[in-house]
């Protein structure tokens, strides 16, 4: 499959409009994958609370059902449905106590009927799974807490 510039632009447009981070197209025996990293969204209130000494600075409000313990949090890059395993009959990708490495698949977030693997960005140990299997998640929702060394 030869990809021309117009087709590439169309794939990028689909990424932007859908909020997805990756699109993979297969035709015959050829495969094209377009991937982008989502830009973090910071509101004015969040920026102020993160700036030491800024008016109104203080801890961020706790979201219902999330842990405020120290660690690195894996968050959902988009709105979708959270799945801990590749299929209902399979074991979860990770369990509490598992040691993980960057690039290791932690879960799947289904968005617009596409299964998107969420990978670890840090090395550490799974301390908490913060979402129930099969539950909807929003952009930025905490999925896992990872204890790093």
What pLDDT, in 10s, does the model give residues 11-46?
777 777 777 777 777 767 777 777 766 554 444 444
The answer to pTM > 0.85 is no
The whole-number pLDDT of residue 56 equals 43
pLDDT surpasses 60 at 101: yes
In sequence order, which residues have a C-beta less than 8 Å from that of residue 102 and are 6 or more positions away?
119, 120, 121, 122, 123
DSSP H or E stretch at residue 7? helix 5-18
Q: Which of 124, 88, 125, 126 shows the shortest CA–CA distance to 108?
A: 88
Within this chain, do residues 101 and 124 fall inside the same structural domain, yes or no?
yes
Greater confidence (121 vs 34) lies with 121
Domains identified in the chain, total number: 2
The whole-number pLDDT of residue 98 equals 95
The whole-number pLDDT of residue 31 equals 75
Whether 64 is covered by a domain: the verdict is no
In sequence order, which residues have a C-beta less than 8 Å from that of residue 39 and are 6 or more positions away?
none
Within this chain, do residues 54 and 75 fall inside the same structural domain, yes or no?
no
Residues 53-60: what's their mean pLDDT? 43
Strand partners, 105: 119
We report the CATH number of the domain holding residue 131 as 2.40.50.100
The whole-number pLDDT of residue 28 equals 73
Structural domain boundaries enclosing 114: 69-147
């Amino acid at each position: 499959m030869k990809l021309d510039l117009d087709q590439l632009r169309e794939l990028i447009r689909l990424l932007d409009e859908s909020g997805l981070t990756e699109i993979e197209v297969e035709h015959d025996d050829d495969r094209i994958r377009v991937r982008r990293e989502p830009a973090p969204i910071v509101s004015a209130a969040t920026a102020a609370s993160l700036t030491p000494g800024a008016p109104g600075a203080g801890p961020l409000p706790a979201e219902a059902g999330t842990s405020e313990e120290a660690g690195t949090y894996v968050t959902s890059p988009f709105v979708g449905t959270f799945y801990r395993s590749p299929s209902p009959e399979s074991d979860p990708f990770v369990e509490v106590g598992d040691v993980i490495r960057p690039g290791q698949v932690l879960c799947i977030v289904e968005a617009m009927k596409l299964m998107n693997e969420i990978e670890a960005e840090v090395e550490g140990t799974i301390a908490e799974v913060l979402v129930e299997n099969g539950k909807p998640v929003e952009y930025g929702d905490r999925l896992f807490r990872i204890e790093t060394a």
